[in-house]
Chain A
Amino acid sequence: MSEVIATNQTILVVGGGISGQTAALEAAECGKQVILVEKTPSLGGRVSQLYKYFPKLCHPKCGLEINLRRIKANRNVRVMTLTEVTSISGDAGNYSVTLKTSPRYVNENCTSCGACGDAVEAEFDDEYNYGLGKRKGAYLPYNQAYPERYVLDPAIVGTEDAEKAKAACKYDAIDLDMGEEETTITVGAVIWATGWKPYDAGKIQPYGYDRFANVITSVEFERMLDPHGPTGGKILRPSDGKEAKDVAFIQCAGSRDKNHLKHCSRICCMASLKQTTYLREQFGDEGKGTVYYIDIRAIDRIDDFYQNIKNDPNMTFIKSKVASITEDKETGNPVLHGVDTEGYHRYSNPHDLVVLAIGMEPSVPAGDFPMEVVLNEEGFVELDEANGAFFAAGCSSDALDVNRAVQSATASALRAIQVVNKVAGAEG
């Protein structure tokens, strides 16, 4: 590619979630040139998969909408989707970065009319819904996707389905000859906002996530509440589609455990407390929540939120890390076994549905970074001089809630701005 899209006064932001968007916008709105790369076909990240935020219980969609408007309006930000960073070399103020862009097979003619999606037949697990539903081989990742452009699953390219999609398109938007592209750019600083992924719940053997249909993770539960989601916004049991009115929440599922993630993932207590409100919202007095916990860490100002939930007579708190889950074959109910710490009572409690408050781990494992980076023992990026002008933003730096992730992103934007300002100063 001959077009110069970056100089050593440019800031590269890696990851288009809430942290990456924030960092990119903060820098761009200060007049800096920013390239925002995103691995998936659209911006939004994990925040776009949430139903509500805590503690205000408002919808993340509007905040994302504002961010997307700012991005669209700002000529300093260049967004590259389906793009990954493969290598970074050089020093602060002068990095050479190689980007790999995977083909979308759909060009900018796309009006997202959906004709290609209707035409193709192959279906795949929907990543946006954590596999709870299916999507077509030609699809818009989600309603609010930006760029608002369809994408072809590479698995259908070369099959009849791809030809069907091409034939269905009235705008000549499908280009099956697109290939992978490699771009090398020069940038002054890198903001690493690759975020987090939910810990693999199947590894928590005693909880049987891989064996019992009615044991799900907190991120999946969140998807159920989306009116456009896989269950149309209803809290339903995966096994039989019945309404799940009696839901158990298991805290520290994978976190604070030397067999899994050693760190406290920080968000899960508030996330589960928030999710208990969904039960009341949907079922009124019939919705019952039970939270099994070691200790509730409703961090700093939001203890009020916890106290309010605690005062709800339909919500029960059991101080105990559940030891194991079995399944009642007749009813499909998961049965939780353990001993509570307040009195040492042994329990075997059946519930309609179990939600594992799953821990956060960095989405990029140690060893997969495009350059040498100082990480802490949990794999989060450290703020270390040895990292030069490679700054982590949001959950790549620690397990953070959205509020703190955005603060962290702003901080790294400031750090990156200082680096490129220095470059600009030296170059006059």
Chain B
Amino acid sequence: MSNYNQEMIEKYRGNFLKEVQDNVEEGDWVKMCMQCGVCSGSCPLGPHWEHPPQEIFMMIRAGKRDEVLQSSSMWMCTSCYNCIARCPRGLPITHIMHGLATYSKRLGLAPKNQPTAKFAQLFWDNLTRTGRVNELKLGLSLYFMNGFSEGIKTALKMKDIGLGMLKTKRMTPMEILGGHGCKDKKGFHAMLKKAQEIEEARIGKSGS
């Protein structure tokens, strides 16, 4: 566990709701939930969540810090916004789910092998390298996310689509050699660095 996590545990000892309100995007709204269950029932991926949103809100209020932050549930959100559209209290549920996921990642508590979390990291790393998404590399790294043999199997399964994309020039094999980037790569990286500094200053994160 990171120092940051320890720091937060000590700061909010026992008051997880307050911790969420202070640190999670739109976390202030959690206390407004009236436990009607429309969000959970409206979620297209609902059956695959360990804890549906309604339960997560109750768990936050019940102080179940580890269970919530280590859960894979909020990583299941696909941002369809059905819950936000239907919530009778107007909670920005999608944003809260992403906020919780971000916060758990920042604390180092996000589940290691959760596919959404893994893909998000792959995507981010791929994008930030050149300022442009390298679809060939992203696709390949996605195929091989779960090991070499799994990757070969997936690649073979998808080969027709891949060849079709090559043929119609939707994808070029040259991308494997670094690939295209944005015009001012240096400026782009400076911007990201600055953004990270601002973010860290905002959350008052010491070290790391």
Contact = CB atoms under 8 A, between A and B. Distances in A.
Interface of A: 206, 252, 256-260, 294, 319-324, 337-341, 344, 346
> Most B CB atoms within 10 A — which of A321, A337, A341, A344?
A321
20 contacts: A252-B36, A258-B88, A258-B90, A259-B85, A260-B88, A320-B37, A321-B36, A321-B41, A322-B41, A323-B38, A323-B40, A323-B41, A323-B42, A339-B41, A339-B52, A344-B40, A344-B54, A344-B55, A346-B40, A346-B47
Nearest to B41: A323
A260 B41 CA distance: 19
Contacts of A341: 35-37, 54
Nearest to A322: B41
A339 B40 contact: yes
B86 A259 contact: yes
Interface string B116-127: 000000000000
Contact of B46 (A319, A320, A322, A346): A346
Contacts of B89: 258
Nearest to A323: B41
B61 to A, nearest CB: 13
B34 interface: yes
B83 to A, nearest CB: 9
Interface string B75-106: 00000000001111110000000000000000
B30 to A, nearest CB: 16
Given A344-B52, A344-B54, A257 B37 contact: no
Nearest to A344: B55
B86 A294 contact: no
Nearest to A255: B88
A42 to B, nearest CB: 37
B88 A257 contact: yes
Contact of A320 (B41, B47, B51, B90): B41
Interface of B: 34-42, 46-47, 51-52, 54-55, 85-90
Contacts of B37: 319-321, 323, 338-341
B52 A321 contact: no
Secondary structure of the A side of the interface? loop
B62 to A, nearest CB: 13
> Most B CB atoms within 10 A — which of A206, A320, A322, A323?
A323
Contacts of B47: 346
> Most A CB atoms within 10 A — which of B34, B40, B54, B55?
B40
A260 B52 CA distance: 24
A259 B52 CA distance: 22
> Most B CB atoms within 10 A — which of A294, A339, A346?
A339
A163 to B, nearest CB: 53
A264 to B, nearest CB: 11
Given A323-B37, A339-B46, A341-B36, 15 more contacts: A252-B88, A258-B89, A258-B90, A319-B37, A320-B41, A321-B41, A338-B40, A339-B37, A339-B54, A340-B37, A341-B54, A344-B40, A346-B40, A346-B41, A346-B46
A319 B46 CA distance: 18
Contacts of B55: 344
Contacts of B51: 344
A354 B85 CA distance: 23
A27 B42 CA distance: 52
A402 to B, nearest CB: 27
A259 B89 CA distance: 8
